[in-house]
Amino acid sequence: MLDVEGIRLNRDDIRRLQNPGVGGVILFTRNFDSREQVCELIEEIRSLRDPALLIAVDQEGGRVQRFKNGFTRIPPMAEFGRLYDEAGEDTQRVLQFTASTAQLMAEELIECGVDFSFAPVLDLGLHGDTVIGNRAFHAEPEKLVKIASAFIDGMRAAGMQATGKHFPGHGHVLADSHLETPVDMRSFESILAEDMQPFSVLKNKLGAVMTAHIAYPEIDSALPTFSKFWLQEVLRKRLGFSGLIFSDDLTMHGALVGGNIVERADLAISAGCDMVLVCNDHVAMDELLAAKSYTASNKSQQRFDNMKARPATRLSKTERKYTIDQLKALIPE
């Protein structure tokens, strides 16, 4: 999965996206000028291949929302956790609001031709405003599972598959894997009891999981992205997850321990990733595409197909208005 350079495709974008080893596109803020423009860009991307490439975006909410003008602003996921804590015995109302928010987010993206948002974050919100911080629903696994489950239900109601990230859990480290390789010295039992609980409980609701570029030296010498132990023994066999496995972006600093871009991609795919992300580095993209000819296995192809948006139910006008009004109250102009 690659990105494109601007608000419309150039020759290099088209050349890369027509490579048969490319299976998807992730869009960023730089690709967005207006709702009309991004819908046209997505239509152009879809016209390049048959079957069309998967199209994704990080539309989590809060500080990670790539499309804004013309799309409903979504608060950080921690706001839903706060509302849940404050609801007393009326937590069901908060869960319904969480689900309708996710459904609205997904509807708006699907209407523009996006297949899925890389959401929700299933990491524990333990360290305030760090790289995860308020992107997480809650610090407590049990509460996080309830709120995230409602969010996933909303996405699925709209016809969008959910992607849980970042496996096996980013919540206990402070370092930003965009800038360095975080290290978590805990035992496997500790991580299983806490960080992995959301992935374990919600596995059958998730269409995909994204890996974390975090070192767990007490458990395995390889990062989860490059680890057969984490992806095949734990995620596939122990947890029983059968959906798509995405690597996080292989150009992030945290992944550089895997070698050059070709070595990183090979390690990730050998470990069990179905699709690797290579973003914001067009030299690396060209190097990878020139060096390798990737072909998806039948299982991976089935998982890709499952991630395609399939428009389903829509919020009623009353539900949509109520949800938008409530969200505006959480995000003052």
- Residues 218-227, mean pLDDT to the nearest whole number: 95
At 254 the pLDDT is 83
pLDDT at 246 over 70: yes
pLDDT recorded at residue 145: 98
Indicate whether 332 pLDDT > 80. Answer: no
For residue 210, the model assigns a pLDDT of 97
Q: What is the pLDDT of residue 126?
A: 84
Asked if residue 167 lies in contact with residue 211, where contact means CB atoms within 8 angstroms, the answer is yes
Q: Which of left, alpha, beta for 234 (phi over 0: left; psi -120 to 50: alpha)?
A: alpha
CA distances for 286 relative to 21, 251, 283, angstroms:
12, 13, 5
Instruction: Output the pLDDT for position 128.
Output: 63
CA-nearest of 279, 146, 264, 124 to 202 is 146
Ordered by where they begin, the domains of the chain are 74-281+300-330 (3.20.20.300)
pLDDT at 176 > cutoff 70: no
Binning pLDDT at 50, 70 and 90, where does residue 130 land?
confident
Least confident of 71-80, 177-186, 214-223, 276-285: 177-186
Is the pLDDT reported for residue 177 higher than 90? Answer: no
* pTM (2 d.p.): 0.95
What percentage of residues in the chain have a pLDDT greater than 70? 97
Tell me what pLDDT residue 194 has.
94
Residue 272: is its pLDDT beyond 90? yes
Residue 175 pLDDT more than 80?
no
Q: For residue 166, what pLDDT is reported?
A: 94
Average pLDDT of span 73-79:
96
* Choice among 127-136, 175-184, 281-290 with the minimum mean pLDDT: 175-184
**Per residue in 141-174, pLDDT tens?**
999 999 999 999 999 999 999 999 999 998 777 6
Q: What is the pLDDT of residues 35-55, one digit of tens each?
A: 999 999 999 999 999 999 999
Quickly state the pLDDT bin for 129 (edges 50, 70, 90): low
213 versus 59: which is more confidently predicted?
Answer: 59
- Range in 19-33, 176-190, 248-262 with the lowest mean pLDDT: 176-190
Active site residues: 178, 248
* Bridge partners, 163 (sequence order): 208
